Amino acid sequence: DIQMTQSPSSVSASVGDRVTITCRASQVISTWLAWYQQKPGKAPKLLIYAASSLESGVPSRFSGGGSGTDFSLTISSLQPEDVATYYCQQANSFPYTFGQGTKLEIK
Amino acid sequence: QVQLVDSGGGLVKPGGSLRLSCVVSGFTFSDYYMSWIRQAPGKGLEWLSYISTSSDYTNYADSVKGRFTISRDNDRNSLYLQMNNLRVEDTAIYYCARVAVGDDAFDLWGQGTMVTVSS
């Protein structure tokens, strides 16, 4: 199975800050990588697919990058509504696997 | 309105069975692969199962293989998860999710249904 490791596990930043979350795959997955945002008590929401493609309706302050084994999710200017847990997921091969999550809080 | 509505969760004893349903609306269900994903209380996301548009291909996580069965009824716009021989560790919120065409991301999620396995 492909292991997905996110860092950091939690991050606290101020409104307006640039925030980057990283995700590392245990094997090469090309760009078969998605990012999700989950707010408390809600279902996850797709933000980024194919490593760098922004899902329709997602604010442009979110961006994704990387290929192979190393990926990143960046929020260019943190907003209060971005408080959530973020997950990466590989879709290169079964079983599909998620990272352990990164909890983002506002300072 | 594009949506997925999960149902069928509840409290069941270890060794028991439960059938989850997911009814979709607002898009052509038969055009999309579908999956089930779960989240144990306070934990991360775990992909469970995947089914093709015509049900000729399915795949399962090892943790549920042989106990859970995914199925769909395209005429009823419905996805199902039959869960047998349930264990305490199956306690979780279960989500159905639509698989995006071409990149296998999960682009639409149900609201989730809670399954509690306890004696």
Residues A22-69: tens digit of each pLDDT: 999 999 999 999 999 999 999 999 999 999 999 999 999 999 999 999
DSSP string across A19-41: EEEEEEESS--TT-EEEEEE-TT
Condensed to tens digits (0 to 9), the pLDDT of residues B44-96 reads 999 999 999 999 999 999 999 999 999 999 999 999 999 999 999 999 999 99
Instruction: Quote the minimal CA–CA distance from B112 to chain A in Å.
Output: 7
Cβ atoms of B36 and B98 within 8 Å: the answer is no
Distance from C-alpha of B24 to C-alpha of B76, rounded to nearest angstrom: 9
Mean pLDDT of A87-95: 97
**Residue A85 confidence (pLDDT) above 90:** yes
Please choose, from the candidates B28, B38, B37, B30, the residue with its C-alpha nearest in 3D space to the C-alpha of residue B56: B30
Classify residue A101 as left (phi > 0), alpha (psi -120 to 50) or beta.
left
Q: CA separation (Å) from A77 to A14, A18, A26, B88? A: 9, 5, 30, 42
pLDDT band at residue A4 using 50, 70 and 90 as cut-offs: very high
> Which whole number is the average pLDDT over B6-33?
98
Comparing CA positions, the residue from B29, B21, B19, B18 lying closest to residue B5 is B21
Portion of chain B with pLDDT greater than 70, in percent: 100
Reported as half-sphere exposure (CB side, CA atoms, 13 A), residue A99 has a value of: 32
Q: Which of B10, B2, B17 is nearest to B77 (CA)?
A: B2
Q: Provide CB contacts within 8 A for B114, sequence distance 6+.
A: B9, B10, B92, B93, B94
Check CB contact of B104 with chain A, cutoff 8 Å.
Answer: yes
Q: How confident is the model at residue B108 (pLDDT cuts 50, 70, 90)?
A: very high
Q: Which of B98, B103, B114 should one mutate to test binding to chain A, selecting the residue with the greatest count of A CBs within 10 A? A: B103
Query: B105, A49: Cβ pair inside 8 Å?
Result: yes
Average pLDDT score over chain B: 97
Per DSSP, what are the bridge partners of residue A84? A104
- Whether B107 sits inside 8 A of A55 (CB atoms) is yes
- Report the chain A residue with the minimal C-alpha distance to residue B111: A43
Q: Do A94 and B50 touch (CB under 8 A)?
A: yes
Q: Would you place residue A11 in the very low, low, confident or very high pLDDT band (cuts 50, 70, 90)? A: very high
Res B103: pLDDT: 87
Across A71-90, average pLDDT: 98
Q: pLDDT exceeding 90 applies to what percent of chain B?
A: 98
Cβ of B44 within 8 Å of Cβ of A45? The answer is no
A80 three-class SS = helix
